[in-house]
């Protein structure tokens, strides 16, 4: 099976995410660089530095290896890894960081054009920190990550937008596809339980039902679900991205509200 067309589409989605990210961050005034974001311990500039770090690594830059002190917002080895890239860029301006991202993305895009991936299960030339991702995972995760950090910055600086784009559609679709896993594995709902999740602003809906084996499967949109959850696009993104708790959002439930809250409380699925 030739995965090339689908992988090429993911590459272009990533390119669009990078372009939109750069357009935003180049206009952030200096007095907003240090505004806090929904990511504990990271301000606006840290989100840009993190993006520069990963794009640089994927373009072939050497990995930074600097000492990272323990901090409340660093909760895993991945956290220590990403913090290295942020700390290594603390003295750079937003313009310098944006230029680094632009140059790294151009280098990597040229590489992808010269040797386009054709096998989704194949290994990419490089991954952040050498994590064992295949082409499907890497090429799908990058536009999602870049778009999510664009949204982190937008919320921090009070410039909403960016939802009517291809990267936004990609991210929201990825998140919604996790509904069966959340319902069956994380919530552990009993057989026969069903959920419909609607994000009207994004024009999307997902439904899932738990089978006799305890596993939930996607099903056609349900009109008689155990609970029907309706949530705004931004609330869905901050929940799926692990940025804010359910209590900070305003979903509506039709049916078993307790089940609906449990689903959303377990919906932090950002890779």
Task: Report the C-alpha dihedral over residues 109, 111, 114, 119, rounded to 10 degrees.
Answer: -90
pLDDT of residue 76: 85
- Rounded to whole angstroms, how far apart are CA atoms 51 and 21? 10
pLDDT of residue 117: 96
Strands 194-199 and 252-255: unpaired
Check the CA dihedral 84-90-95-99 and report its sign: negative
Q: What is the pTM of this model?
A: 0.96
Q: Which residues make up the CATH 1.20.120.450 domain(s) of the chain?
A: 4-158
C-beta of residue 222 within 8 angstroms of C-beta of residue 152? no
pLDDT of residue 74: 82
Nearest to 32 by CA among 47, 14, 16: 47
pLDDT of residue 78: 87
pLDDT of residue 80: 87
Residue 47 corresponds to which tokens in the numbers above?
């989100």
Domain 4-158 class, CATH top level: mainly alpha
pLDDT of residue 1: 59
Q: Which residues make up the CATH 3.30.1050.10 domain(s) of the chain?
A: 172-265
Q: What are the residue ranges in the chain where pLDDT is below 70? A: 1
- Check whether domain 172-265 has CATH 3.40.50.720, yes or no: no
């Amino acid at each position: 099976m030739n995965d090339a067309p689908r992988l090429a589409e993911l590459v272009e989605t990533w390119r669009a995410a990078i372009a939109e990210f750069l357009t935003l961050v180049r206009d952030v005034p200096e007095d907003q660089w240090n505004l806090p974001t929904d990511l504990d311990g990271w301000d606006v500039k840290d989100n840009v530095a993190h993006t520069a770090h990963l794009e640089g690594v994927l373009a072939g830059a050497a990995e930074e290896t600097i000492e990272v002190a323990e901090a409340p917002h660093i909760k895993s080895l991945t956290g220590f890894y990403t913090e290295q890239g942020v700390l290594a860029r603390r003295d750079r301006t937003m313009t310098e960081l944006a230029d680094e991202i632009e140059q790294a993305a151009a280098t990597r895009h040229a590489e992808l054009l010269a040797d386009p991936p054709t096998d989704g299960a194949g290994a990419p030339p490089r991954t952040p920190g050498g994590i064992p991702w295949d082409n499907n995972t890497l090429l799908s995760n990058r536009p999602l990550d870049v778009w999510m950090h664009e949204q982190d910055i937008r919320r921090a600086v009070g410039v909403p937008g960016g939802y009517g784009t291809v990267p936004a559609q990609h991210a929201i679709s990825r998140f919604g596809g996790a509904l069966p896993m959340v319902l069956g594995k994380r919530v552990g709902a009993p057989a026969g339980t069903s959920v419909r999740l609607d994000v009207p602003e994004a024009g999307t809906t997902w439904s899932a039902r738990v089978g006799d084996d305890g596993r939930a499967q996607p099903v056609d949109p349900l009109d008689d679900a155990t609970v029907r959850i309706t949530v705004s696009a931004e609330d869905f993104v901050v929940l799926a991205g692990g940025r804010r708790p359910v209590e900070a959002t305003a979903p509506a439930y039709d049916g078993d509200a307790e089940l609906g809250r449990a689903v959303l409380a377990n919906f932090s699925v950002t890779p």
